[in-house]
Amino acid sequence: MKAIVFREGSQWAVENVETPVPGPGEVRLRLLRTGVCGTDEHLLHGGFIAKFPLIPGHEMLGEVDALGDGVETPAIGTTVVVDNTIHCGECRACLSGRALFCENFSSLGCNAPGGFAEYVVVRAAKTFPTHGLHPDIAVLAEPTACAMHGVDILDLAPASDVLVYGAGPTGLILSQLLKMAGAARVTVVAPTASKLELARRFGADHTIVIDRDDPDAVVSELRELAPHGFDAVIEATGSVRVLEQAVGLTATGGTVMVYGLAAEDAFARVSPYEIFSRELTIKGSFAQAFTMERAMVALRSGRIQTDGIITDVVGFEDFDRALANLKDSSQIKTIMDPSHVATTPN
């Protein structure tokens, strides 16, 4: 089968690899769509939990085409999304109810074969039927599940005033989930006007354009909007400078959430005295765990709007564009479709 393979030294190529065979308790999927995520770029350069050689792609939608021993459901032909996390169930973290921090944690598309391929093998128990949900919506299930986990960790009080930095796929989905979770007002800050327009259409109460080169210029406008600070500030960009700014914009007794993925060697300057004297809470949100079913419920309900999030579709022949799109501010979400054929320019 064809697959995108990442290798040491930030190298990648389309390769012919062996088609996987499902083992006991597993199913094989013929992949229909896989979302391209900023995490994939970190993985390409050896960040996060990359293990090479790697077939990346963790936001998977596929059709079951083979069953391993002992598997009766999902039946062949069922379209499913995938919870890509695998926990051993036996280590200290798993046995204490914190499976996301499993000592033997495996993640399809991150340190195990994922969805930028024609086929992938997954655990049958980790699949969730789409029940006819449009593929362009269903493929956003995994990022929605991650955002839902973040909202769970944030644990908002009713009528909270929330600031979200970032209007990429995560920021757009998070801002909607926050409203469902009790936020009375959601403000979204991002550098791209077209993305902020989409955020407003999805229900954001306020949107503010931030200058990438001078993010501090927006502070006065945010302070005017929330003179005493925001109850919660979510950093969903991976920018250290934005995180440093977020602390000062958080209300006394409020919460700063680190949601965006920064480089492992990145450090932020935060005043311990400010955290101490204003009783601030800093939280992190890593991946997702046990939220995929709820994500599917939210997407099926229509309460989470997605129209306009997908801005490009690529196949094997033009996957380089998917990586380039991650740095293109006009792009929001690129989808990898194994059946997509690149068009030849006139």
Contact, 233 vs 249, CB < 8 A? yes
Q: What percent of the chain has pLDDT over 70?
A: 99
- One-character DSSP codes across 20-80: P---TTEEEEEEEEEEE-HHHHHHHTT-TT--SSB----EEEEEEEEE-TT--SSPTT-EE
Q: Are 309 and 325 contacting, i.e. CB atoms less than 8 angstroms apart?
A: no
The H or E element that residue 80 is part of is: strand 79-82
Q: What digits encode the pLDDT tens for the residues 39-51?
A: 999 999 999 999 9
Give the mean pLDDT of 76-88.
96
Average pLDDT over residues 310-329: 97
Q: What share of the chain in percent tops pLDDT 90?
A: 94
Sorting pLDDT into bands at 50, 70 and 90, what band is 216? confident
Task: Kindly report the average pLDDT of the chain as a whole number.
Answer: 96
164 in Cβ contact with 174 (< 8 Å): yes
Position 35 pLDDT exceeds 80: yes
Is residue 10's pLDDT more than 70? yes
Each residue's pLDDT tens digit, 196-211: 999 999 999 999 999 8
17's tokens: 């690899």
- Domain chopping of the chain, boundaries: 2-140+309-336, 144-284
If pLDDT is split at 50, 70 and 90, which confidence band does 344 have?
A: low
- What is the model's pLDDT at position 346? 41
Domain 2-140+309-336 has CATH 3.90.180.10: yes
Report the distance separating Cα 336 and Cα 110, nearest Å. 16
Peptide bond into 53 cis (omega under 30): yes
pLDDT digits (tens, 9 = 90+) for 251-297: 999 999 999 999 889 999 999 999 999 999 999 999 898 999 999 99
pTM: 0.95
Closest CA to 254 of 273, 282, 284: 282
Superfamily of domain 144-284: NAD(P)-binding Rossmann-like Domain (3.40.50.720)
Is the confidence at residue 225, as pLDDT, over 50? yes
In residues, how long is the chain? 346
Cα separation, 241 vs 208, in Å, equals 17
Judge whether residue 345 has pLDDT over 50.
no
111 has pLDDT over 90: yes
In sign, the C-alpha dihedral spanning 143, 38, 332, 80 is: negative
Q: What's the gap between Cα 11 and its chain centre?
A: 23
Residue type, 224: E
pLDDT tier at 135 (50, 70, 90 boundaries)?
A: very high
Compute how many other C-beta atoms are within 10 angstroms of the C-beta atom of residue 230.
24
Whether residue 214 is predicted with pLDDT greater than 90 in this model: the reply is no
Q: How far is CA 300 from the centre of its chain?
A: 18
